[in-house]
């Protein structure tokens, strides 16, 4: 497994600072927050951004995230798909292999919405494949569908496109209706990316993104998932991802070192490079 840190963990910092400081903290792979990349591109070229990754020795193993593709309609749908098309060449140029796509279908869904969702995911996979990118659907515990691992796997398998897989975010697995047995449904063919965080000492029903903390330090340690990943011989990336405003205040140099150390300690003999 390739340990990484998501740059969203240092949301308030600029991407050049994050990469330089994470590298100084012995982190050599990141899950790139696309907002960071697009902000950086306001003052430099794609080539310069690529050179920054090279000079810091950091590999962008995934990018997060693309929303609005699944059930949006009208002008909103056109805007989201236009942004998606704009991002694909960027990912290709930066050699980012996986784009996380948000499972953001909220509210009551009609049969035609479910059909649109499936067709949209299939179309996104086709367009991504043309750019040499794979998309990883991240189910959201708060969504109408899919909001659990079993349903997300079923959807990906129904689409049946080799460029469409799954991003398993341990937070959404933990706080939502996913079951322990769902982990046995995973296969190496569809698991494209993994994101880890733990939950502070609050009831799961009340947990929010602001309660995400470093994996292994809270009430939802990812031991069952890591055991399953070992059994699958998963060789993809696994990144620390926290959306905690309090952690954004931690200097990237300090956070990057602490996060990658915590992750490597958790992986232990599960780490395969």
Length of the chain equals: 273
Task: Tell me the CA distances in angstroms from 27 to 31, 264, 265, one per residue in order.
Answer: 11, 10, 13
For residue 270, the model assigns a pLDDT of: 42
- Whether 174 and 219 have beta carbons less than 8 Å apart is answered as no
> Given 3.90.550.10, 3.20.20.150, 3.40.50.720, 3.40.140.10, which CATH number is that of 2-270?
3.20.20.150
- Contact in structure between 139 and 172 (CB atoms under 8 Å): yes
At a CB cut-off of 8 Å and minimum separation 6, what does 142 contact?
106, 176
Whole-number pLDDT of residue 31? 98
Q: Tell me, what's the pLDDT at 220?
A: 86
What is the H or E stretch that residue 239 is in?
strand 237-240
C-beta atoms surrounding 119 within 10 Å: 12
pLDDT for 166: 98
Low-confidence ranges of the chain (pLDDT < 50): 269-273
Q: Write down the residue that tokens 């609005």 correspond to.
A: 68
3-class SS of residue 242: coil
Model pLDDT, residue 273: 40
């Amino acid at each position: 497994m390739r340990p990484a840190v998501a740059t969203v963990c240092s949301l308030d910092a600029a991407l050049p600072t994050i990469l330089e400081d994470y590298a100084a903290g012995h982190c050599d792979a990141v899950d790139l927050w696309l907002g960071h990349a697009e902000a950086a591109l306001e003052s430099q070229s794609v080539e310069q951004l690529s050179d920054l990754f090279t000079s810091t020795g950091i590999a962008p193993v995934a990018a997060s995230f693309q929303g609005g593709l699944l059930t949006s309609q009208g002008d909103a749908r056109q805007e989201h798909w236009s942004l998606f098309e704009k991002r694909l060449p960027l990912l290709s140029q930066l050699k980012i292999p996986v784009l996380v796509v948000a499972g953001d279908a909220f509210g009551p869904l009609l049969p035609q919405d479910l059909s649109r969702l499936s067709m949209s995911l299939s179309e996104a996979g086709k367009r991504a494949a043309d750019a040499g990118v794979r998309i990883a659907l991240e189910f959201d515990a708060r969504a109408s569908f899919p909001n659990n691992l079993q349903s997300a796997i079923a959807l990906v398998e129904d689409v049946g496109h080799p460029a469409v897989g799954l991003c398993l975010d341990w937070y959404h697995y933990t706080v939502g209706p996913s079951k322990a047995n769902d982990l046995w449904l995973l296969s190496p063919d569809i698991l494209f990316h993994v994101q880890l965080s733990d939950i502070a000492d609050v009831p799961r029903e009340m947990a929010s993104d602001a309660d995400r903390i470093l994996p292994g330090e809270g009430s939802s340690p990812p031991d069952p998932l890591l055991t399953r990943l070992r059994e699958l011989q998963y060789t993809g990336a696994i990144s620390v991802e926290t959306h905690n405003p309090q952690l954004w205040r931690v200097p990237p140099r300090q956070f990057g070192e602490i996060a990658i150390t915590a992750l490597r300690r958790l992986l232990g003999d599960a780490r395969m490079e």
